[in-house]
Structure 1
Amino acid sequence: MKYIALRASYFRVRVAYMSIPTDFSIGNVDPAIKTIESIGSPYLGLAINSLYALSNGSRPSELRDVPIHSIFHVQLCDGYVQQPASEEQSSHSDMLPGQGNLNLAGFVKVIAASGYKGSWSLAKIDSKKAKKSFIDNAYDAYRALVNLLDEVERSHPQIKFETPNMPARVYTSGVEFLEFSVDDESHYQITQILSSLCFRMERKHISKAVELWRQGSVNIVLNNEKKGFSRSSFLEHGPSLCAIGLRVRDSADTVERASALGASLFSQAVGSSELEIPAINGVGESLVYFIDDEQSDLHRVWDIEFNPVTKSEAVQPCGVRRIDHIAQTMKFDEMQSWLLYYISTFEMEKKPVVDVIDPSGVIYSQVLESPEGEVRLNLNGADNSETFASKFLTSRFGAGTQHIALLSDDIFETSKILEASRFERLQMPDGYYNDLKQKYGLAEDFVNKLQASNILYTREKWRIFSNIFSTNF
């Protein structure tokens, strides 16, 4: 080390030494600082990597005693404290900020507040499974770094970085609509499904082949236009969910932040009586539209662009109140990118990644949700080509929405109404209910009640989940 310091002095360059967990001769940050301080050269300093500093459970506050003049370089790298929750996570030793669970905001805050004025860099993404291009990795890295520094600036105004001026992360208060691209044949099929789910067609577009189907606060849009984005989506992916509309406080702020973080904006020509709804590109070449709560006329889109239809007969609702969650399936590397896309743009909290066992492999699932649970997304990452999720990717020619879950307050009452409306549900084998009885110690009468309605049952700690699945479309 002394020799390195002498050579650095001779060439008038600064050398930053980084201690890593496998370096047993130096060990961690404290011994490295003592070594550097004992040499006392202005050309030899410390490089700190957040993964190495925090992954053993250390707190960012422990770095307050590091002499600020000794820190030459800082690397920001996410990971997992102690053991990773998922097998897949263990193969990603270096992750971008936001992809792991380390307290990187606290790490940056402590070092910046101490007076560090140097650069903030990202460590190399060290994943044997990385399949994305350098350009895609650069976009992800930019989004992750800017979002992290912006988070620190907003929580500690005395700390300033050279980041883009943009609005804060956006609060999403709900899903305003789901839009499906269809043709004549798939339009008939989907309307049959919606009718059996007790949805009713409420409105038609004033000038386009677009319908609004509704139940509770769930708005389903069927787009059978022969031109425009929806048609292009249909030709590329077949009948599928091509757009999601989210309710936000300010759509202009939303697209401004998304754009500043690298999202692509979308626009297409609109008619004279139509609203120009702000949108960005989303998962699997779909769109994400933004509807203001009160800032503009966007929240009146159903009144402005649609006419009510004459109701021939009343339809009894089946008890669906709102959208519970939307599951989007993609390859694992894409999942990491879309995770950053969502948590950097919106106020969303991520849950730990869990391994979902498939008969042909493992699917990695991560839940994102708004603070009050109004919007919940399941991101499912698949690598094994034989898993059900991977087959979905192949059949759809890429990532997309795999299923939509609707919330009911009374699953048994909903099941009864769906039985009368001839909703085609997934039939569960008898062995499933025998296993339920043994696994959860359920009463036989209750298990029989579940089986009679083909209701699935899961219990996690104090939470109970009951589900009715449709057949595949």
Structure 2
Amino acid sequence: MLNTSTLDREAIGELPNPLGLQGIEFIEYSTSRPQALGQVLERLGFVPVARHRSREVLLYRQGDVNIIVNAHQGGLSGQAAPTEAPAIAAVALRVRDAAAAYRRVLELGAWAVPTQVEVMELNIPAIHGAGSSRLYFVDRWREFSIYDVDFIPIPGVNPQPPAEGGLHLFGVVQYIGLDRTDDWTAFYGELLGFAELPREQSFGVLTSGSILASPCGTFYWQLIEPEPDAADFEHDELLQRVGFGVDDVTASVASLRARGVEFVESTHGVRTTERGALTRPQMGSLVFELVHDPR
């Protein structure tokens, strides 16, 4: 993904920010094998800190990064039953006013996601994203959070486990259809205020596609089309992976390898460098990316 040494984050933060976007509150994965996914996350340094009150859903945390593992049949908002292979089902965006943000994007043409809220649960507004994923809007993320209502803390667990190696959310990689870059750039730009970076700016070890910067300057969205001559390529559109920023890629890779995490080396030109690293696929196509991004 990104090489932030070439990027002035403060300049990006000065972009128009109509929704008051302030980063990502959580990434949600759906899977029918939550324990297996949990083991993968724990090797990466995440800790299960809370359980949903009424659904088969766990909250994992490391530093400021929240990952929700959803194994509930029907999901948090009535989506299809989870499959064995983990999939990114949702990204929750921190905004100034969730209701106002939701109204604005609907007025601009976004598709609403019907919600199915149980007793004692928050109604979190959402719109359709890539494939079957959704984008949530969350404004309870400072003194109070959505987890105060919907989740029960796991006894004896530190609810704020520290980030290892400065790990933080860096961005999301989305696979899109052929010749769909302009469509998705307009989607994220017009609805959420993202801006496309110059093509010469590249991030990490995987530099394909177009990169969009969030108006708050805290994370990025990478759009990758299939190769035009890849006749057998599946052109499904989906959120493919999450990128984590770390202070020192080499040190983080060494630490994670000691915990059993394997990384791609010399596959199609991809290998660990000071710029970034890619974990080997697990549970199907589950991968994570590390990007050099000292904060």
TM-score tier (shorter): 0.7 to 0.9
State the match for 2:230 in structure 1.
Answer: 386
Identical pairs, percent: 25
State the match for 2:80 in structure 1.
232
Give the match for residue 260 of structure 2: 422
Change (3 A) 1:294 1:303: closer
Query: Aligned-pair distance for 1:215?
Result: 0.6
CA distance 1:306–1:412, shift in 2 (3 Å)? same
How far off its partner does 1:338 sit?
1.7
Q: Which residue of 1 aligns with 2:40?
A: 193
SS in 2 for 1:428: coil
Q: Are 1:270 and 2:270 counterparts?
A: no
- Larger RCO: 1 or 2 (CA < 8 Å, sep 6+): 2
One of 405, 408, 411 as aligned partner of 2:246: 408
Q: Superposed, which structure 2 residues align to 1:3-152 within 5 Å?
A: none
1:181 matches 2:26: no
Cα RMSD (Å): 3.2
Q: Please, which of 164, 168, 175 is the counterpart of residue 322 of structure 1?
A: 168
Q: Does 2:147 align with 1:338? A: no
- TM-score by length of structure 1 reads 0.50
Question: Which one of 212, 215, 219 corresponds to residue 368 of structure 1?
Answer: 212
Contact 2:49–2:158 (Cα < 8 Å) also in 1: no
| Partners of 1:181 and 1:231 within 8 A in 2 | no
Please say which structure displays the higher CA radius of gyration.
Answer: 1
Q: C-alpha displacement at 1:402, in angstroms? A: 1.6
**Contact 1:323–1:406, Cα closer than 8 Å, also in 2:** yes
User: Are 1:302 and 2:147 an aligned pair?
Assistant: yes
Query: Does 2:284 align with 1:467?
Result: no
Unaligned runs of 5+ in 1: 1-154, 156-167, 357-362, 434-453, 458-465
User: CA, structure 1 residues 312+374, in 2 after alignment: closer, same or farther (shift >3 Å)?
Assistant: closer
Contact (CA 8 Å) 1:332, 1:380: kept in 2 or not? Answer: no
- Change in 2 beyond 3 A, CA 1:316/1:255: closer
Measured in 1, the distance between the counterparts of 2:218 and 2:96 equals 14
Q: Give the counterpart letter for 2:279 in structure 1.
A: S
What is the distance in 2 between the residues matched to 1:320 and 1:406?
10
Q: What corresponds to 1:215 in structure 2?
A: 62
Partner deviation per Cα, 1:54-92 (whole Å, 9 max, x = no partner): xxxxxxxxxxxxxxxxxxxxxxxxxxxxxxxxxxxxxxx
Tell me the distance in 2 between the aligned counterparts of 1:336 and 1:284. 17
Contact 2:73 2:82 in 1 (8 A): no
The residue type paired with residue 249 of structure 2 is: I
The structure that is helix-richer by fraction is: 1
Contact in 2 for aligned 1:326/1:401 (Cα 8 Å):
yes
Aligned partners of 2:46 and 2:209: how far apart in 1? Answer: 30
Q: Which AA in structure 2 matches 1:416?
A: A
> 1:420 & 1:230 partners in 2: Cα distance?
39
- Give the C-alpha shift of residue 233 in structure 1: 6.0
- Give yes or no for contact 2:265–2:272 (8 Å, CA) kept in 1: no
Query: Unaligned regions of 5+ residues in structure 2, if any?
Result: 1-15, 287-295
